[in-house]
Structure 1
Amino acid sequence: MDRIILRDLAFFAYHGVYQEEATLGQRFYFDLDCYLDLRPAGESDDETQTVRYDYIAKRVENIVKNQRFKLIEALAETVAKDLLGHFGSLQKIRVKVRKPEAPIPAIIKDIAVEIIRDREDYA
């Protein structure tokens, strides 16, 4: 299946279990694979035949900045459900949320969760 791919979409927000995370905030990075049929857009060169990636990014930003989550699992689930619910042509989505500044006593590049959901998961 065809995909619209967004990588390293970054937002500063205040998610996490610890009070310090709610107070200080940190960066969150998203990788999204949005599965849909891109043939109509490819054949017509008509933006109404696809899902615009700027619209996807704006919806993710709205969720990240206007809601608060303790768990990045809940953040990923909310993003997947919102995008599949809002964009009818999306059939499946992969959402990866990375949290490079997670407050753990180790040297890490980042902590991440990745979920894959399809339209039937929310039917």
Structure 2
Amino acid sequence: MGLIKINNIQVYTYNGVLPEENRLGQRLEIDVALTVPIEDLGTKDQLAATVSYADVYTTITEIAQTQQYQLIESLANHISQALLKKYQLIAAVQLRIRKYSVPIAGIFDNVEIEVQVNR
């Protein structure tokens, strides 16, 4: 097994608990790592025989930009489940979501959640 990774996908969303987050929106960053049987897929050298990262990118951004959640944990779970459902070659999804505009009185770069979902 191997990994297909897409790092630092940036989307503008309207997710959050507070009304301001839902009204004003914010930027999220998403990293995804897909566990796939690269040793089998790479021998065919055909896009149709693997998981297209262009299609994965589109799936992630469409969900992030069209669905609205209070929690980024819910967004991560929805994306992970959608990827497993849509791309049968994926054995596991590891997903990280970073949020920068967090209503916490403190000094920090971001908050990040990470999930791993296995088929």
Shift of 1:46: 0.4
Q: Tell me the residue number matched to 2:106.
A: 106
SS at match of 1:44: coil
Paired AA for residue 106 in structure 2: A
Q: Does 1:38 align with 2:61?
A: no
Shift of 1:40: 3.2
Q: Does 1:66 align with 2:66?
A: yes
SS at match of 1:43: coil
The correspondence of residues 11-90 of structure 1 with structure 2, limited to 5 A, is 11-90=11-90
Q: Tell me the residue number matched to 1:4.
A: 4
Using structure 1 for the length normalisation, give the TM-score: 0.93
Q: Tell me the residue number matched to 1:117.
A: 117
Shift of 1:106: 1.0
* 1:87-113 deviations in Å (ceiling 9; x for gaps): 000000101111011121111111011
Paired AA for residue 116 in structure 1: Q
Distance 1:13 1:6 in 2: 19
Paired AA for residue 87 in structure 1: Y
Instruction: Among all aligned residue pairs of Structure 1 and Structure 2, give the percentage whose two residues are the same amino acid.
Output: 28
SS at match of 1:21: helix
Stretches of structure 1 that go unaligned for 5 or more consecutive residues are none
Paired AA for residue 9 in structure 2: L
Using structure 2 for the length normalisation, give the TM-score: 0.96
- 1:40/1:49 contact within 8 Å kept: no
Stretches of structure 2 that go unaligned for 5 or more consecutive residues are none
Distance 1:25 1:108 in 2: 19
Paired AA for residue 50 in structure 1: T
Shift of 1:39: 2.4
- Count of paired positions: 119
